[in-house]
């Protein structure tokens, strides 16, 4: 299976302000793992959207997959209590 390119939207870096470093390291490692397997067994497709989410502790990584161009685009990272709320 081909490796996917990982793209992170610029707004994601604002999302991670204030995330403890130990959690941020794990979040980045989980994002990197999406290159090899964009649909791991613990990922969930969000209903009504073309997005998936994967858990990393109390945080969620929301992303989309472009299978045509082999790209994973991270759209949002947030604490589980806030990540699905619209601003």
Residue 58: burial class (beta carbons within 10 Å; 0-12, 13-18, 19+):
exposed
Compute the chain's Rg from CA coordinates: 12
Domain ranges in the chain are 5-79
Please write the tens of the pLDDT for every residue from 37-80: 999 999 999 988 889 999 999 999 999 999 999 999 999 998 88
CATH number of 5-79, picked from 3.30.2310.20, 3.90.1410.10, 1.10.3720.10, 3.30.750.24: 3.30.2310.20
- Whole-model pTM: value is 0.89
For residue 62, the model assigns a pLDDT of: 94
For residue 61, the model assigns a pLDDT of: 95
For residue 77, the model assigns a pLDDT of: 92
* Phi, psi torsion values for 58, nearest 5 degrees: -85, 5
**Distance between CA 27 and CA 25 in Å, rounded?**
5
Beta bridge partners of 78: 60
**Distance between CA 13 and CA 15 in Å, rounded?**
5
């Amino acid at each position: 299976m081909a490796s996917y390119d990982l793209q992170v939207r610029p707004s994601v870096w604002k999302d991670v302000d204030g995330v403890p470093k130990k959690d941020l390291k794990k979040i980045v490692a989980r994002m990197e793992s999406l290159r090899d397997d964009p649909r791991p067994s613990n990922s969930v497709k969000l209903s009504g959207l073309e997005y998936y989410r994967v858990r990393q502790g109390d945080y969620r990584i929301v992303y989309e997959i472009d299978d045509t161009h082999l790209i994973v685009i991270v759209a949002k990272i947030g604490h589980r209590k806030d990540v699905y709320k619209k601003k």
